[in-house]
Structure 1
């Protein structure tokens, strides 16, 4: 029993000695990839933000308590749909009073009309003077003007009472509610915000020195990436004004109809006219390690050791993925992360 144990211990020691004294070139048996950068000729990448072409902060035109709020954030609404209703009882009563004043004015106008007709007949028969006829004509015109004024006032009161029902100006999506039922709405105070999802664009800030070159390439299609989805846009413009602080100009890229995105989302764009091309780094997708939120690769050093290093990646293109930061050209990475994780 003692001899068997000694023999097993000797064999174990011999195996450990062999592994410890293994030649350094054994690390080369691990499949690796040498990182290199590539140039995307004639294009440069820029970070941008998705924004809505039509985004409206809906506010009240009159003061009143919010009595109904039939929408919530995220709801899709149609043009003319009720968004909020304010307490309009006082306004409706004023509109009713104005309507009654119109009836009074019309009755006075009718009396004046009959009177001027009689005065004209009497004047034709030479029973009254010209002065009497002129007075009747003046009273008729006064009554007519008063009736028109009362009618306009009644229409204005009715229009103002309509302001207490706030409606959607176009088809859109509600993104934010600024009031709750019972709050006091005031003229100019935001009630809610909505945008039109059918018209979206990407805003990109580029150096002022690139503006002229970009304006000469407005007919060139550009590529936009939003949430991993690559889109080709054909309509874009360079705004004429530059920011006095950052010395950048804004490039607006119209997204094609049907693009699904949320205003405020991150977008990556590739614009023409990059000086010498934009340097980009790609690695095989199978070399990437993803554990929950961590994305990393095994970097193989000169001594053959594989160390895990976190990287920031961009969009995938076929069987390759773009690395934005974390590794440098010339470094070697392991193509088999599982094999690299087992190495000392």
Structure 2
């Protein structure tokens, strides 16, 4: 079939337009590919060298603290402190109305004054009669009677002094003072309240002296030893601290079947702790050997009930892999399946990741 000039010209224009569109398409694809390269940081999965451990929960507590109460009943007349206030040892905290005890103290002091006067008189009489007895001017009976009166006066004076000590001891429960220097952490009374014996009034803690109290199950407590090194993960601020076992309870009768273990902490200056913060403690144990790898929880990807991690393919692209996870170990978690030792996984990315995206590993 012969083509005329007009047809040939139209075909030429069509071919040129197609070539131009293809060129634009290639340019656009090239630009898109360049944009989709994601900068990432990766780590290799490893099995920890010390892989015998068990994990348990607990709380941060002050190593020195006191819940302050009174043995006296009375109205609260003064409260000198507020929550969060620093106090020094011996500083006045609370006064409870003690008018009756002040009256008894005055009576005790008056009793001492009377007893001292009788004692001084008895002492003088004893010395005088002893001289008379030595000069044969007083009989044995007279000297014995005076000596007895002296002993009675001395005993009465001591008794009066002990009464005053008793009253002062009772008064110490109405004029409550700080047992040590610290911070007031709670206050449950105000002026005008009735204070009862044994009622909680204040709590005080020594500052900057915190320990971790871990609750260890019965199956694990036999493997906890004094001075064991322990890793402590503080959940609220995501800090990892280190410490050593300082005390081990041998009874779970009052702790719900859990054994209390105190951990002395090494606290860096930039870490701020508060009593009551929840922790996760990782104890060493030769009875809990594992060959599973650990990965940081921050690297996990969550979609509904599924949890996974982005790995790096042989062609340097991202691949989302779903994992079967085990127990938590501080800020890490155990991988039961889905990731082998030595495989690379992505711990952070500068933009959104998805399957097949090109990676630039930093």
TM-score, structure 2 normalization = 0.66
Out of 88, 112, 126, the position equivalent to 2:98 is 88
What does 1:96-245 align with in structure 2 at a 5 Å threshold? 96-215=106-225, 218-226=226-234, 227-242=237-252
CA contact (8 A) 1:35 1:283 kept: no
Out of 264, 268, 274, the position equivalent to 2:280 is 268
Shift of 1:315: 10
Unaligned ranges ≥5, structure 1: 1-17, 19-25, 290-295, 307-313
CA contact (8 A) 1:30 1:339 kept: no
Shift of 1:239: 2.8
Matched residue of 1:152: which SS?
A: helix
Q: What is the number of residues matched between the two proteins?
A: 297
Greater CA radius of gyration, 1 or 2? 2
Change over 3 Å in CA distance of 1:297–1:107 after alignment to 2:
same
CA contact (8 A) 1:92 1:158 kept: no
Shift of 1:94: 1.7
Change over 3 Å in CA distance of 1:116–1:237 after alignment to 2:
closer
TM-score, structure 1 normalization = 0.69
CA contact (8 A) 2:282 2:329 kept: no
CA contact (8 A) 1:83 1:167 kept: yes
2:223 & 2:74 partners in 1: Cα distance? 53
Shift of 1:180: 1.0
Residues 58-108 of structure 1, C-alpha deviation per residue, up to 9 Å, x if partnerless?
A: 011322221111111222222111111112222222212211221111112
Residues 177-236 of structure 1, C-alpha deviation per residue, up to 9 Å, x if partnerless?
A: 111111122221111112223432212223333333333xx4442221222222221344
1:242 & 1:88 partners in 2: Cα distance? 42
Shift of 1:46: 2.6
Q: What is residue 88 of structure 2 aligned with on the other side? A: 78
Matched residue of 2:157: which SS?
A: helix
Shift of 1:168: 0.9
2:204 & 2:63 partners in 1: Cα distance? 11
Unaligned ranges ≥5, structure 2: 1-24, 26-32, 312-317, 321-327, 340-344, 358-362
Residues 264-296 of structure 1, C-alpha deviation per residue, up to 9 Å, x if partnerless?
A: 1111222112622365333775x879xxxxxx9
Matched residue of 1:190: which SS?
A: coil
- Range moving further from structure 2, 218-227 or 141-150: 218-227
CA contact (8 A) 2:55 2:329 kept: no
Shift of 1:129: 2.3
Tell me how large the CA RMSD over aligned residues is: 4.4
1:207 & 1:36 partners in 2: Cα distance? 33
